[in-house]
Amino acid sequence: MARPLVPLISIDALVTAALELVDEAGDFSLPKLAKRIGVSQSSIYNHVSGREEILELMRGRIISESPYEIRGGDWEAALRTIVRSYRDAFARHPRLAPLLVLQTVQDHQVLALYENLAVALESAGFRGRDVLSAISTIDSFALGFALDLAAPDVVWAPPSEGFPALASALSNAGPADERGEAAFEFGLEILIAGLHSLLRSTVL
C-alpha cells in the first residue's frame, strides 16, 4: 500500500490510542501505538514529530477534557475551580502524570490555565515576584497530587517495622482512592488558607 486517498492516521485517533495504552499499561511505545491503530511504525512520523509531541498532545487532550468555567466569584473561588479542574484531568488518567514531568509545557490550553491562575492571584492582591511564586506553589501542589494518584502506595506501603507514627497514620486511612481524595481536599484547604494568611501579613 502507498498513499491512501483518505489518510489512515488522524492525530485525534493517534492521541486517543496513546492515551488508552497509558491508561492500560502506564506507558506507550511507538510500535505498540502503531499496532493499535493498524499502521506502520514509521508512518506516525508523517503526522507528528516524535514521542515527545505525542506526550504533549496527550497533555492538551486531558486538559480540554476537563473544562472549567470562571465567572463572577472571587479569586478564591476561581483558584479552587482551576486547581480542581487540573487535578480532575489527571484523576481520569493517573498514569499519564509521571510521563509528563520530564517535559516542558507547550500546550496552549495549559498555558491558558496558568494565565487564569495569574489573573486570579493578581485580583487577590499578590504583586511582583509573589505572583510567580504563588503560581509555582500551586503548580507544585497540583502536580504532586496528580503524581500521588498514579502511585497511591508510594510512601504508604506498610513499612514492616520501626515506623510507629507512620503505621498508626496508615491504620486510620481508608482505601487508596478515598484517602487520595481526602488528602487533596485537605491540601486545597491548606493552600487557600495559606494564601489568605500570607496576603494578610503582606498587606498589613
List C-alpha distances in Å: 54 to 87, 122, 162.
Answer: 21, 34, 44
Query: Own/partner pairs for 167-176, CB < 8 Å, 24+ apart?
Result: 176/152
CB-based contact 55:100 (threshold 8 Å) = yes
Tell me: does residue 117 bind DNA (CB under 7 A): no
Contact between 41 and DNA per CB under 7 A:
yes
Shortest Å, Cβ 116 to DNA: 31
Q: Based on the shown chain and the rule CB under 8 A, indicate whether residue 25 belongs to the binding site for a second copy.
A: no
**Site residue total, a second copy (CB under 8 A):** 69
Contact present, 47 and 14 (Cβ < 8 Å) = yes
98 binds, among a second copy, DNA, none (CB under 5 to 8 A by kind): a second copy
* Binding partner of residue 45 among a second copy, DNA, none, CB cut-off 5 to 8 Å per kind: DNA
Q: Where are the beta strands (DSSP E) in the chain?
A: none
CA distance 179 to 44: 40
By CB under 8 A, residue 161 contacts a second copy: no
Distance, CA of 21 to CA of 35 (rounded, Å): 11
Which stretch, 26-34, 91-99, 139-147, 150-158, contacts DNA (CB under 7 A)?
26-34
Q: Is 175 in the site for a second copy (CB under 8 A)?
A: no
User: Which range touches a second copy (CB under 8 A), out of 10-18, 28-36, 52-60, 125-133?
Assistant: 125-133
